[in-house]
Chains A and B, each alone.
Chain A
Amino acid sequence: MEEFGLVISVVYQFGTNAAFLLLCALGLIVILGMMNIINLAHGELMMMGAYTASLSYQAGLPFPVCVAVSFLVVGFVGAVFERLVVRRFYGRELSALVVTWGISLLLSQGTLMVFGPFLPSIPIPGGSLDVGAYSLSVYWLILIAVSIAVVVALAWLYNRTTFGLHARATMQDAAMARALGVNTGRIYMLTFSLGAGLAGFSGALLAPTASIMPFMGQQFVAPAFITVVVGGAANVIAGAVGSSVLLSLVRTPVGFYLGAFLGLVALLLAALIIIRLMPNGVSAALLRWSDRRAQSG
């Protein structure tokens, strides 16, 4: 029974680590992975999601509704930023990087001025589950399920719907997409808005696990970029899933036996090594592997 508890606990740790990376990466999968915009405001969009959740929770809304509100509010903010600012910097990666950095400063300092240094936190919903000597948080189990569900939904949206087809066509060659009648300006706006909304959604979901402060976004930025970059651009969604699994496979055992800090160090080292071995990311390696299999089979 003791060993069973240990196994469950390690699997649970692995699940929470992978879900955390995926949740951090969600919005960035769309904005960096598909639109190729290095969005330095990603963390602040997540922060806005947490703020929206906290404010609407205090207003008496049930937590799941707060999460939905965060998605919509931050998605709307993203659409406004795209229309007014980001749109002017497509294809100019460095300019876009500086501009989104500017937006991030504006958002974090603006939040500090308007709401002060912190907001009341949201209590973690759900209780805990005891397995042998270990206890698992029900809320994290829900987060694991939600992160899987959202990734599946995203893959469905991009692979199975007309919007997804038009979006992928637009990202590959906007002029050709226009030549086939696609309103590419609208696709860009919707895509950026979706990415921002997902960042807000993740921020809201992670809000109960964090302190709600103007600069809270920074803790999510590094994991988000590492997950998406290690995943690679060949297939962003599969890549992000692959990289979060791979990185958690390294982080979990090290963290379990040597402590959380060394677990994080191991994750960063693993990211370095993976990028060294697979410069185009996990998804490119997966693609090559499946091509080879198809050819030999």
Chain B
Amino acid sequence: MGMPSIVSTTALDKRFGGIVATQHVDLDIPEGELRCIIGPNGAGKSTLFALLCGIHAPDSGHIFLKDRDITALPSFRRVRLGLGLTFQTNRAFHDLTVRQNLEAPFRLPRGGRSSTSEERYQYALSTFGLDTTSDVPARELPHHRLQWLEIAMVLAGGPEVLLLDEPTAGLSPEETLQTARVLRHLNDDGLTIIVVEHDIAFVREVAERVTVLHQGAIFAEGTVADITAHDDVRRIYLGQA
């Protein structure tokens, strides 16, 4: 692709007891790409996500962020190095106000956000309609706003890579589309985004390249068109969706 990779893994293995969750995953995400990681239930998507963000440690293999080996780093250190994470279930702090949630991050580099990060953050705030001065407790927001709040919270930290686990879970088709548009725009602006996703409509909307996981291993990789045309992929995944 020409661009140097910003996130990569080599031969990532993880077992839980006798169950192989990921095997020999070699992932290579060039800077500025929007990559979707898809696969049927139990394919190892969530495990891969957990390995990338440091919730689990791999049994073997390495994870690199900007050429630095982060395999042994706890998640908050990875975040401080430029990784931004959101989880599958909404994790905005319900008992804090919207303002406090947005102030909460956290890995702000000394001197605040860079001008690019600030632009991305402001863009997300205005598109999602979030008010940084709101003293409404987050628990009173509707689900889709909570989901958007979480994305904005992560952008508030000025990440260089966004790692999202099913960002559209529980959203309506219009809200999904809106989320897709924002991610698309952020990516056009140069932000690298990795999305673990189940919703194929969303994937079609946003992704350049798609990595398909199956039984813990990379099964196929290519453009959305390649992947959706791939017979085996249709058989293991799309056919069931």
- Chain A interface residues (CB < 8 Å from chain B): 165-166, 168-169, 172-173, 175-185
Contacts and interface: CB of A to CB of B under 8 A. Distances in A.
Contacts of A173: 91, 93
Contacts of A175: 55, 75, 87, 91
A169 B86 contact: no
Given A173-B93, A175-B55, A175-B87, A180 B105 contact: yes
The 9 closest A-B pairs by CB, nearest first: A181-B107, A176-B91, A181-B79, A180-B106, A179-B85, A181-B106, A180-B105, A178-B76, A178-B75
Contacts of B105: 180-181
B103 interface: yes
B157 interface: yes
A172 B86 CA distance: 16
Classify chain B's interface size: 20 to 34
Contacts of B94: 172
A169 B55 contact: no
B184 interface: no
23 contacts: A165-B100, A165-B104, A168-B93, A168-B96, A169-B93, A169-B104, A169-B106, A172-B93, A172-B94, A173-B91, A175-B87, A176-B93, A177-B104, A178-B54, A178-B74, A178-B75, A178-B76, A179-B53, A179-B85, A179-B86, A180-B107, A181-B157, A182-B106
Contacts, number: 65
B189 interface: no
Contacts of B92: 176
Contacts of B74: 178, 185
Given A179-B79, A183-B76, A172 B96 contact: yes
Nearest to B76: A178
Contacts of A172: 93-96
Nearest to A176: B91
Contacts of B154: 179-180
B80 interface: yes
Interface in B40-84: 53-55, 74-76, 79-80
B153 interface: yes
A177 B154 CA distance: 11
A3 B42 CA distance: 78
Nearest to B75: A178
B90 to A, nearest CB: 9
B229 to A, nearest CB: 36
Given A166-B106, A172-B95, A180 B157 contact: yes
Interface of B: 53-55, 74-76, 79-80, 85-87, 91-96, 100, 103-107, 153-154, 157
A169 B94 CA distance: 10
Contacts of A176: 87, 91-93
Contacts of A180: 79, 104-107, 153-154, 157
A175 B93 CA distance: 11
Nearest to A179: B85
Given A179-B85, A181-B76, A181-B157, A168 B95 contact: yes
Given A173-B93, A178-B54, A180-B79, 4 more contacts: A172-B96, A179-B86, A179-B91, A181-B105
A28 B92 CA distance: 27
Nearest to B140: A291
Contacts of B107: 180-181
B57 to A, nearest CB: 14
A99 B126 CA distance: 50
A177 B93 CA distance: 9
A169 B104 CA distance: 8
A179 B104 contact: no
B91 A169 contact: no
Contacts of A183: 76
A9 to B, nearest CB: 41
A182 B92 CA distance: 14
A175 B92 CA distance: 11
B98 to A, nearest CB: 13
Nearest to A185: B74
Contacts of B79: 178-181
A179 B75 contact: yes
A287 to B, nearest CB: 10
Contacts of B75: 175, 178-179
Nearest to A164: B100
B81 to A, nearest CB: 9
A179 B93 contact: no
A185 B96 CA distance: 21
Contacts of A178: 54, 74-76, 79
